[in-house]
A and B are shown apart, each in its own frame.
Chain A
């Protein structure tokens, strides 16, 4: 059964200068034990969409969706009490700034055991044992001693390991990782990504990876969603996304990577991501798109069929290539 099924998710924030649609019509399905990446630049609404799933948005946000189901249960209609049974236990989330995500006033051990106390029936001794086991599992040496450490005594990589231990303490079926390695050094990033893929494989845990790093996507994800200005502009399996991007934004994003560049200048995307007040009419990407014409500037782009990446575009790229294959 599909683990997470989201259809047409939109999030609107009530702001002083009027409503702002941060997420607009996003679809996402996650199968058990699958790795899905959501890619986009800052302001593309990738984190907000996942916070909506977790129910962690402030009151100023209005969440609407045709479908927002976890294991066939509707998360939107569920009572807060029922939802809290799922959030944290079956769906867990880790964040970009591990040091800021831990409570500085309590020991690491207290915070991990709090999860177990809330979501499991383990007694005190069993919780301690499980906490030690968890820290060992995420590769922290001397787990007994580290349980008594406060967050400020740990390095960034170590804190992220603690966050992962905490998030996976109740064997979640789905882990949402929001830029889990952005604040970390490359060698530590490699360790954390490997830890996440190990957990995903060994514990049959599905993983939603929110990132802006195409390298991380290429190395870990099976399927990729690309978001731009709150909209999902393309979704494809990872290999075909890198080989034949259909949306001009995806193509431009890939071309701008220094890894893929040829010559001394990088092909850059002119302009910037539209903010709250300068959203264009028609296609959101049209002011920056090299292929845009009058139709793009006036008419909202259609959703192309799944075979061409469900691209949100009037003139998707690489279509002939796909047909010839």
Chain B
């Protein structure tokens, strides 16, 4: 199995102006992210708002260049990439956004929306483009007559199908899915997740699935990276992460997620406080002000990603054995072996 995406200490800074006379402030939206995604697999990126997961998506899709670190996609270096390289790579990586109401141009017909990527990136004739667009429409479960309609004539679930179809037009190898089902109702969410699973199976796609819904992540992901304030704090295979979460933040995140089973209504591990401002990140481990296991070392020294079993985790407490492994019990446990 070859790694299709390799990111090493990937960083993205933003300069934020603080007025005419003061020096601009440097904000580390993504401070350090190191991970690999194998071909045909799904990496889920989880974290709360402001943890840098969408910035990560923008770097993977080359909307924004990283300010530091190394990013290799499909064997080509993005960070050192020449213009021609990037152009080819952009067709390899496509993105689906969270809000299908905002991501489709209301003045374009569905056909035009689907054909636009081909117009820009290929030299296909109009007839060939239309044939491709219509075929794609069928593949995502829409009907041929939808080709000439406008986005406002569709429901949220159908729009998300259109957005997925558009992303697939250039036959990418990698799809970055930025909260693709968060804006949808439960019954629609299920059908979109099924569609994504079908497409992945059929086309051998690699997914980077960005989400804050842990139940969804557990269902779709092969590997999970948990981010906190711009840093990856834990990476593990999905089942390992959900069964033996090691980082206290991962544990808290899992404990905070409501379980759809009233028989299991239980004690919640309540996390105190909110995500600190990235303008003024805490010293040492960024999680220490909210962490029940924080020690002096956590307040001073930045933890590095270290292996613990099948997991990579950045926590002094785990390294020193101070943090117990809290197996989270969820209704899925009984079925894990079957899956």
Within 8 A of A (CB), among B134-193: 155, 157, 185-191, 193
Any B CB within 8 A of the CB of A269: yes
Please state if B187 and A41 are interface contacts (CB–CB under 8 Å).
Answer: yes
Q: A57 at the A/B interface (Cβ < 8 Å)?
A: no
Q: Are A268 and B274 in contact (CB under 8 A)?
A: no
Chain A residue numbers with a CB within 8 Å of B155 are 272
- Residue with the highest number of chain A CB atoms closer than 10 Å, among B213, B214, B274: B274
Taking a contact as CB atoms under 8 Å apart, the answer to whether B185 and A41 are in contact is yes
Interface residue A50 (Cβ < 8 Å from any Cβ of B): no
> Which residues 232-289 of B sit at the A interface, judged by CB distance below 8 A?
252-253, 255-265, 268, 270-271, 274-275
Q: How far is the CA of A216 from the CA of B262 in the complex (A)?
A: 10
Supposing A258-B219, A263-B339 touch, asked if A212 and B185 sit within 8 A by C-beta, the answer is yes
Q: Are B265 and A219 closer than 8 Å at their CB atoms?
A: yes
Q: How many angstroms between the C-alpha atoms of A221 and B261 in the bound complex?
A: 11
Q: Is A187 among interface residues, defined by CB-CB distance under 8 A?
A: yes
Whether B216 sits at the interface, judged by CB under 8 Å, is yes
Residues of B within 8 A of A158 (CB): 274
Q: Nearest Cβ in chain A — how far from B109, in angstroms?
A: 21
List which B35-59 residues lie within 8 A (CB) of chain A: 48-49
> Within the complex, what minimum Cβ distance (angstroms) separates B188 from chain A?
7
Are A259 and B212 neighbours in the complex by a CB distance under 8 Å? no
Q: Which residues of the partner chain B approach A185 to less than 8 Å between Cβ atoms?
A: 48-49, 212, 275
Contact with B along A252-268 (1 / 0, CB 8 A): 11101111111111111
B67 beta carbon closer than 8 Å to chain A: no
Determine chain A's interface SS by DSSP, over half rule: helix
Tell me the smallest distance from the CB of B275 to a CB of chain A, in Å.
7
- Please name all residues of chain B whose beta carbon is closer than 8 Å to the beta carbon of A102 when the two chains form the complex: none
Inter-subunit contact B219/A253 (CB<8 Å) = no
Nearest CB in chain B to that of A156: its residue: B49
0/1 string, B193-220, CB within 8 A of A gives 1: 1100100000000000000111110110
A259–B215 contact, CB under 8 A?
Answer: yes
Docked pose: A242 CA to B274 CA in angstroms: 32
Do B257 and A266 have beta carbons less than 8 Å apart? no
Chain B residues near A267 (CB-CB < 8 A): 190
For A88, what are the chain B residues with a Cβ–Cβ distance below 8 Å? none
Cβ of B267 to closest chain A Cβ, rounded Å: 11
Q: Which of B190, B275, B335 contacts A269 (CB 8 A)?
A: B190
Q: Could you say which residues of chain B place their CB within 8 Å of the CB of A268?
A: 187-188, 190-191, 194
Q: Known interface pairs A253-B187, A260-B260. Does A190 touch B197 (Cβ–Cβ under 8 Å)? A: no
Contact B260 A257 (CB under 8 A): yes
**Closest beta carbon of chain A to B215's beta carbon, Å:** 4
With A185-B212, A190-B271, A253-B187 as contacts: A259 and B259 at CB distance below 8 Å: yes
| B124 interfacial contact with A, CB 8 Å | no
Q: How many interface residues does A have (CB within 8 Å)?
A: 48
Task: Evaluate contact between B258 and A258: CB separation under 8 angstroms.
Answer: no
- For A253, the chain B residues whose CB sits under 8 A away are 186-187
Residues of B within 8 A of A263 (CB): 338-339
B248, chain A: closest CB distance, angstroms: 12
A262 touches B339 (CB 8 A): yes
- Which residues of A are at the interface with B, using a C-beta cutoff of 8 A? 41-42, 155, 157-158, 185-191, 193-194, 212-219, 221, 238-239, 241-243, 252-254, 256-270, 272-273
Known: A187-B256, A216-B258. 20 other contacts (CB 8 A): A42-B185, A185-B275, A187-B253, A191-B271, A194-B268, A212-B185, A215-B260, A218-B265, A239-B263, A242-B261, A243-B263, A256-B187, A258-B219, A259-B215, A259-B261, A259-B330, A261-B219, A266-B191, A268-B194, A273-B185
Q: Please list 30 pairs of residues, one from A and one from B, whose beta carbons are closer than 8 Å in the complex, sorted by A's number.
A: A41-B185, A41-B187, A155-B274, A185-B212, A185-B275, A186-B253, A187-B253, A187-B256, A190-B257, A191-B271, A194-B268, A194-B270, A219-B258, A219-B259, A238-B262, A239-B263, A242-B260, A242-B263, A243-B263, A253-B187, A256-B189, A257-B186, A257-B215, A259-B215, A259-B332, A262-B339, A265-B194, A266-B190, A266-B191, A272-B157
